């Protein structure tokens, strides 16, 4: 069963060992947005490794400092960006510098899900 959340800044779907987030058009993602993520993680992934997948289908801004806080989520073992937009690919390279865990960019959701499975196998 998929559980979903619709907040002011994102739509999130929760699966067994990962989540998919779609940020809303025109917003700016700031470090304080991590508070919402932490609450979701504590509720659905307590004591369980998981991967965060962001599907970048809308245009929005990210303060890359957010990744310093996101990396503190101990059971978050991987972060991936799904987008085939060349601008997003460049942005992802910058964001990756701020995140000290597994961080990948993919053009398709299928590729991101395969990578997720590979990452999670390391933690079993």
Tracing tokens 């245009």 back to the chain, one arrives at: 59
Q: How many CA atoms lie within 13 A of 106 on its CB side?
A: 18
State the CATH number of the domain containing residue 96: 3.30.750.24
pLDDT by residue (tens digit) across 50-81? 999 999 999 888 888 888 889 999 999 999 99
Q: pTM of whole model > 0.85?
A: yes
The closest of 53, 29, 50, 49 to 106, measured between CA atoms, is 53
pLDDT by residue (tens digit) across 12-34? 999 999 999 999 999 999 888 88
Contact 119, 102 (CB under 8 A): yes
Domain tally, the chain: 1
Compute the mean pLDDT over every residue in the chain, rounded to the nearest whole number.
92
Show the domain range for 40.
3-121
Query: What is the structure's pLDDT at 65?
Result: 86
Contact 24, 55 (CB under 8 A): no
Please provide the distance, in angstroms rounded to a whole number, between the alpha carbons at the two ends of the chain: 22
The closest of 105, 102, 100, 96 to 119, measured between CA atoms, is 102
Q: What percent of the chain has pLDDT over 90?
A: 66
């Amino acid at each position: 069963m998929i559980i979903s959340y619709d907040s002011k800044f994102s739509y999130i779907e929760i699966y067994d060992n990962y989540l998919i987030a779609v940020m809303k058009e025109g917003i700016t993602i700031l470090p304080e947005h991590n508070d919402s993520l932490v609450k979701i993680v504590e509720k659905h992934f307590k004591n369980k490794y998981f991967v965060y997948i962001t599907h970048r289908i809308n245009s929005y801004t990210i303060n890359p400092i957010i990744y310093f806080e996101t990396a503190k989520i101990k059971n978050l073992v991987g972060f991936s960006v799904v987008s085939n937009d060349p601008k997003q690919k460049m942005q992802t390279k910058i964001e990756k510098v701020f995140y000290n865990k597994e961080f990948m960019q993919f053009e398709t959701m299928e590729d991101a899900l395969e990578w997720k499975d590979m990452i999670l196998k390391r933690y079993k």
